[in-house]
Amino acid sequence: MSSQVVPISVGKKVPFAFAQVSDEARQYVAEVLSSGWLTTGTQALMFENELCTTVGAAHTVAVSSCTAAIELSLRALRLRPGTAVLTPTMTFCGAVHAVVHAGLRPVFVDIDPVTLVPRPDQVTAAAERHRPGAMVVQHMAGFPAPVDVLAAAAELPLSRVVEDAAHALGARLGTRRIGALSAATCFSFYATKNLPIGEGGAISTDDPDLAGFVRSARLHGMSKDAWSRYLPGGSWRYTVEADGIKANLSDVHAAIGRGQLLHFGEWQRRRAAIAARYDEHLVGLAALELPARPSAGVHAWHLYVVRLVDPASAHRDDIIDALAEGGVGTSVHFIPAHRFPYFRRLLGESECSLCPEADAVADRIVSLPMHQGLDSEAVDYVCDRLAAATARFA
């Protein structure tokens, strides 16, 4: 299977996301289902090895989600309980929960309204409030955040940085692939991601000790997984030396991932072409600001996020509703985490009132349909409906 598009004509629906499944993925899953072994095994190991090649890292450990990947990576840093960890507020709530579940304290960092990732001055301001022991750097929407610059702004070595690359498989910072820049890089294979598996994640690293810890901690801290114990000649004995969790990836999911990975380069090129077509059609709309481009590197184009300028910003939700009426699916990435009641109770109202730029842009952003199955007619239709909606509510 080389390509798949979502047929679209004016008046039909354009989904926000659509998970393509390759023929190879179907074949590999069928082999797993007939093998008699469904949980973590040979398929997971092969998937990890293939991911190493994709991201350019020495080690990759497959896990159940990117949320689990972030938690396990932070646990691997061996920080004292309650240590401050910088994290952008413009992120998925699960990424912040991962900090809390690792026994650490999140410190929200404001974001640049154009790139949607923190600037160095914002990182420095947050670091001055709470001396951090680590930082989570997010590559928002697939935009490659300057990991080394942000680490320096926090006065942290790269060995104390964990990358949230849930959006960034295939991205590059300069000439370097996202995946081996910091202590650990965390990926997502959720159903809407660039490599859609349904569920799953991975941690890539060049640190063998970190990889070894995560490999054990993803399965209760046990010294042997079930596959190793149940092989002919294997021993049932194991020990537990770490405070682990249940976060391994099944062979069923790994088989899907292996089949999908065969088409990943082709799919990424299609996403870049879709982004370019959006640019071409939307650049003249005065009501919109288009996504930022990295000055050096490659955007992964997990999301195509437009920003509404004033006064249209007051009508963001009306525009989303108008697009929905025309059959165009959209989303918002994200509600700033500091707005949620749980984090306000956990960290205090004053700590959650320090991200004015995130607050200013949060009500102006819209994520347009972005998946490799979109054909040109679908992209053009989205642009036409968006132009009409912004004109209506300007």
d(C-alpha 38, C-alpha 160), whole Å? 35
Collapsing DSSP to helix, strand or coil, 4 comes out as: coil
Residue 361: pLDDT over 80:
yes
- pLDDT of 278 higher than 50: yes
* 309-334 core/surface letters (b: 16 or more CB in 10 A; e: else): eeebbebbeebbebbeebbbbbbebb
Beta strands in the chain (DSSP E): 59-63, 84-88, 105-109, 134-138, 161-164, 172-173, 176-177, 184-188, 201-205, 288-289, 297-298, 304-308, 365-368
Peptide bond before 311: cis, by omega within 30 degrees of 0? yes
Q: Quote the pLDDT of residue 156.
A: 98
Write out pLDDT tens, residues 208-267.
999 999 999 999 999 888 677 777 788 889 999 888 999 999 999 999 999 999 999 999
Q: Is the pLDDT of residue 2 over 70?
A: no
Given strand 84-88, what is the order of strands in its sheet? 59-63, 201-205, 184-188, 161-164, 134-138, 84-88, 105-109
Respond yes or no on whether the N-terminal peptide bond of residue 187 is cis (omega within 30° of 0). Answer: no
Predicted pLDDT of residue 203: 98
- CA-to-CA distance for 95 and 353, rounded, in angstroms? 19
pLDDT per residue as tens digits for the range 299-349: 999 999 999 998 666 789 999 999 999 999 999 999 999 999 999 999 999
Q: What was the pLDDT predicted at 230?
A: 74
Pairing status of strand 184-188 against strand 176-177: unpaired
DSSP code for 338: G
E strand spans, 191-338: 201-205, 288-289, 297-298, 304-308
Q: Which residues pair with 246 in a beta bridge?
A: 219
User: Which uninterrupted H or E stretch holds 124?
Assistant: helix 120-129
pLDDT range class, residue 59, cuts 50, 70, 90: very high
Q: What is the mean pLDDT of residues 49-71?
A: 98
- Please confirm, yes or no, whether 13 is among the known catalytic residues: no
DSSP structure string for 272-289: HHHHHHHHHHHTT-TTEE
pLDDT over 90, % of the chain? 90
Give phi and psi for 121, each to the nearest 5. -65, -35
Q: What is the pLDDT of residues 132-182, one digit of tens each?
A: 999 999 999 999 999 999 999 999 999 999 999 999 999 999 999 999 999
Rg (CA), the chain: 21
**Cβ–Cβ under 8 Å, residues 195 and 268:** no
Dihedral over alpha carbons 152, 153, 157, 162 (to 10 degrees):
-120
SS percent in the chain: helix, strand, coil, step 5: 40, 15, 40
Q: Is the pLDDT of residue 1 over 60?
A: no
Query: What's the mean per-residue pLDDT of the chain?
Result: 95
Per-residue model confidence as pLDDT tens digits over 13-37: 999 999 999 999 999 999 999 999 9
Domains of the chain: 23-261 (3.40.640.10), 264-393 (3.90.1150.10)
Instruction: For 78-123, give the DSSP string.
Output: TPPTT-EEEEESSS-HHHHHHHHHTT-EEEEE---TTTSS--HHHH
Cα angle value 186/101/91 (rounded, 5°): 50
